[in-house]
Amino acid sequence: MCSRFALTTPPELIASAFRLSDPPVVRPRYNIAPTQDALVVRVMDGDREGELMHWGLIPFWSRDTSINARLVNARAETASGRTAFRNAFRKRRCLIPASGFFEWRREDRHKRAFFIRPISRQPMAIAGLYEEWRDPDRPGAPLVESFTILTTEPNVLMRDIHHRMPVLIDPVEQDLWLDPDVTEPEMVHHLLRPTPSDWLEAYCVSSYVDNPAHEGPECVHPMGPSCIEERRAAEGSQIPDSLWG
């Protein structure tokens, strides 16, 4: 799954990595949690743009926003067939820029937080879906845009930590994923595979990050003896040329 992530990349670098015409107006965030706003990249009128949206998808037919806290993830294996995600899967696919994401590993009675990031240090592109919603009880209510993160099986690196992980989209495949004119799920399903393990590394962080109200660099500082066990699936392996430009 993916229920917490960071985006600390400078706006200018986000813009170049995602080919946005303007740097997004964002501050560094070390602990982005569900129901909060996060930067989303989508294609609108043929151009990529970065927008802030609520994390937690609100289907357009919802009576209220109470479902928001629950639809923070969508299973990549089934999302295109789910009522809540079907329309978005066809027409409103998006990317969520992230410097890395957090996962908690269960260890007996304890849990330990890990930060997972690209070895390349370029921002990753998490696959997402977004939706548009207006309060049906209030005519003229403002448009609420919200998103969910697609999850899939873990790769070798992640398998040791958790049994789900977010879907990441390779830069060479991003135009296809974002194209709103590609409305057949079959055309994009093959993009929703686990990221190769040698794209990523993982290390332990302190429990400071556990509290969603906490913010700041301490969330991603290596912590404890097992920061030594910083993991790489393939030591010394080359990062594929197709990655991150």
**Residues tagged active-site:** 2, 103
For 69-135, give the DSSP string. Answer: GT-SEEETTTGGGSTTTHHHHHH-EEEEEESEEEEEEEETTEEEEEEEEETT-SPEEEEEEEEEE--
The residues that touch DNA, with contacts defined as CB under 7 A, are 1, 3-4, 33-36, 59, 61, 66, 69-75, 78-79, 82-85, 104, 106, 111, 151, 162-164, 207, 210-213
Kindly state the smallest distance separating residue 183's Cβ from DNA, in Å.
15
Kindly state the smallest distance separating residue 74's Cβ from DNA, in Å.
5
Kindly state the smallest distance separating residue 226's Cβ from DNA, in Å.
16
Residues 6+ apart with CB under 8 A from 203: 114, 115, 222, 227, 229, 230, 231
Residue closer to DNA (CB basis): 124 or 209 = 209
Angstrom distances, CA of residue 137 to CA of 141, 196, 210: 8, 46, 36
Residue closer to DNA (CB basis): 75 or 189 = 75
* Count of alpha carbons within 13 angstroms of residue 47, beta-carbon side: 7
Burial 107-139 (b: 16+ CB within 10 A, else e): eeeeebbbbbbbbeebbbbbbbbbbebeeeeee
